[in-house]
């Protein structure tokens, strides 16, 4: 069955948004600053994250002069201008300590509402306004999305199995007179029906929530508000293929005049042998440590007969680690994975210390600073600061990774895993191993094998009727 032009149009806005996001990120208008720390030996190849999109300004740490006076685009001198930092644990040898290889800041794109994001962008151009102030304004008022596109072009050095980490901060206010125009003419409030094949998505809500409907006939509502009952995240194995829509859960009756939204979405690659796995998903529940107070009598909505997995939490030494996926400090999540990995949300009190000993097979390590800042050792410099909204890539060797929080504490996502060492071919929302497999995926989509797209304005009854007539054949 072929999808005619009318059916294709229901997801046209989604593709326009994806194209716009990718285009703006690639153009990269003064938006990616980078620190590059070379390794001590050419035999160690440091994972590269979006190296082609680095700005022309870099700090190079050399063995002969670790306190180089070159300036980063953030404007401070590495050796002299960093704020006072607490003491890190005693320095260890290269064989036992995992260090930072590079630090980058990716583009933050204005959206939902775009005018908030544009205002923040212009503020960021003013040299007298620090990054921390811009970050706090974004956290309060929203209006930006930050896609961290990881470079998977070289299987031997890519940050596999992780493909992309996107940080969303948005707000929807009842008095925004431009909101209806934006929603109907420019961009819907979310992501209308679109296909996936060959990878996993983790969508983790810290404010607000999401409404999910798919071509398997499932609807789920999850998020960080009391009405979501602690279901803060969704682990979706797209596998062989499905369509789903993800729309922001905006409820002024329960949220008040302003609905704040913040979430991370992570794309995780599947091994080639599992790319055609049966699509399935689980909700991750954080009853005891939900970002907001719980209303356990709330109507959770959606299909609650699916897997519901509790998130293990480790609290010690003034730190809290939520084990979304994998393992930390002998606590393991029950989330199904297809290759070894850990995905953690770490919250640290001011000046506290946190560490993780990574298996030697975990060549990939990525740290994204959500709020606050932290200090870590690099290859040739100690006490390097990782500031808010910066992404740090770890060296592929060493065991223990040590972090010390700054004066305002630190809140970050930490990704670690064993690389797949397989070629990656990605196009749009499909991730396979070869161009031929990508062609097959889009051919299967056009023939309706993953289901047929629907208009996001359909009622639940209309959507159910649509999906019953044209479901994913892989369910």
- Could you read off the pLDDT of 207-261 as tens digits, one per residue? 999 999 999 999 999 999 999 999 999 999 999 999 999 999 999 888 888 999 9
Confidence of residue 197 (pLDDT cuts 50, 70, 90): very high
Q: Report the b/e string of 383-408 with b at 16+ CB within 10 A.
A: bbbbbbbbbbbbbbbbbebbbbbbee
446: how many CB neighbours lie within 10 A of its CB? 14
pLDDT digits (tens, 9 = 90+) for 253-281: 888 889 999 999 999 999 999 999 999 99
With a cut of 70, say whether residue 60 has pLDDT above it: no
Q: Which residues contact 417 (CB under 8 A, 6 or more apart)?
A: 160, 161, 162, 326, 339, 340, 341, 342, 362, 364
With a cut of 70, say whether residue 83 has pLDDT above it: no
DSSP-derived letter for residue 184 is I
| Average pLDDT of the chain, as a whole number | 82
pLDDT digits (tens, 9 = 90+) for 328-365: 999 999 999 999 999 999 999 999 999 999 999 999 99
Rg of the chain on CA atoms, in Å = 22
Residue appearing with tokens 């497999």:
437
Confidence of residue 287 (pLDDT cuts 50, 70, 90): confident
Confidence of residue 438 (pLDDT cuts 50, 70, 90): very high
Return the higher-pLDDT residue of 126 and 66: 126
pLDDT digits (tens, 9 = 90+) for 7-43: 444 444 444 444 444 434 333 333 444 544 443 333 3
pLDDT confidence of residue 95 = 58
Highest mean pLDDT among 17-26, 71-80, 89-98, 418-427 belongs to 418-427
Helix or strand or coil: residue 431?
strand
State the burial class of residue 106 (Cβ atoms within 10 Å of its Cβ: 0-12, 13-18, 19+).
buried
As a whole-number percent, the residues of the chain with pLDDT over 90 amount to: 68
pLDDT confidence of residue 183 = 87
Asked whether 375 and 88 are in contact (CB, 8 A), the reply is: yes
- Max distance between CA atoms of the chain, in angstroms, equals 68
pLDDT confidence of residue 49 = 30
With a cut of 70, say whether residue 294 has pLDDT above it: no
Confidence of residue 380 (pLDDT cuts 50, 70, 90): confident
Closest CA to 407 of 376, 381, 373, 432: 373
pTM: 0.81
């Amino acid at each position: 069955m072929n999808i005619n032009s009318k059916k294709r149009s229901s997801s046209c806005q989604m593709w326009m948004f994806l194209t716009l996001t990718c285009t703006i990120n690639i153009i990269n208008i003064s938006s990616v600053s980078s620190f590059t720390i070379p390794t001590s030996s050419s035999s160690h190849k440091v994972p590269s994250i979006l190296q082609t999109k680095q700005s022309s300004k870099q700090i190079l740490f050399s063995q002969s002069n670790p306190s180089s006076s070159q300036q980063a685009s953030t404007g401070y001198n590495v050796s002299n201008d960093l704020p006072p930092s607490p003491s890190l644990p005693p320095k260890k040898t290269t064989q036992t300590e995992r260090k930072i290889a590079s630090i980058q800041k990716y583009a933050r794109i204005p959206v939902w509402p775009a005018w908030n994001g544009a205002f923040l962008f212009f503020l960021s151009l003013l040299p007298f306004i620090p990054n921390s102030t811009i970050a706090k304004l974004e956290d309060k008022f929203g209006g930006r999305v930050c896609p961290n596109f990881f470079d998977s072009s070289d299987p031997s050095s890519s940050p596999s199995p992780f493909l992309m980490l996107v940080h969303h901060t948005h707000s929807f206010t009842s008095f925004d007179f431009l909101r209806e125009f934006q929603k109907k003419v420019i961009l819907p409030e979310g992501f209308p029906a679109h296909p996936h094949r060959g990878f996993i998505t983790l969508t983790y809500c810290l404010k607000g929530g999401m409404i999910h409907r798919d071509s398997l006939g499932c609807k789920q509502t999850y998020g960080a508000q009391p009405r979501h009952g602690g279901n803060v995240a969704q682990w979706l194995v797209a596998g062989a293929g499905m369509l789903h829509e993800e729309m922001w859960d905006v409820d002024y009756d329960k949220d008040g005049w302003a609905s704040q939204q913040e979430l991370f979405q992570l794309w995780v690659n599947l091994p080639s042998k599992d790319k055609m796995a049966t699509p399935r998903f689980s909700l991750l529940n954080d009853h005891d440590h939900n970002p907001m107070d719980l209303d356990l009598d709330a109507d959770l909505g959606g299909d609650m007969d699916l897997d519901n997995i509790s998130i293990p939490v480790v609290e010690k030494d003034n730190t809290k680690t939520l084990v979304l996926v994998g393992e930390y400090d002998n606590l393991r999540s029950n989330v199904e994975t297809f290759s070894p990995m850990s995905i953690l949300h770490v919250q640290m009190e001011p000046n506290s210390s946190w560490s993780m000993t990574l298996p030697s097979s975990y060549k990939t390590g990525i740290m994204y600073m959500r709020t606050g800042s932290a200090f870590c050792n690099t290859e040739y410099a100690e006490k390097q600061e990782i500031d808010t909204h910066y992404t740090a890539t770890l060296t592929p060797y060493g065991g223990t990774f040590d972090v010390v929080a700054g004066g305002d504490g630190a809140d970050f996502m930490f990704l670690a895993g064993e690389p797949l060492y397989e070629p990656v071919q990605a196009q749009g929302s499909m991730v396979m191993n070869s161009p031929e497999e990508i062609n097959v995926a889009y051919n299967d989509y056009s023939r309706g094998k993953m289901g047929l797209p629907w208009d996001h304005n359909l009622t639940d009854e209309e959507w159910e009727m649509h999906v019953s007539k044209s479901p994913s054949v892989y369910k």
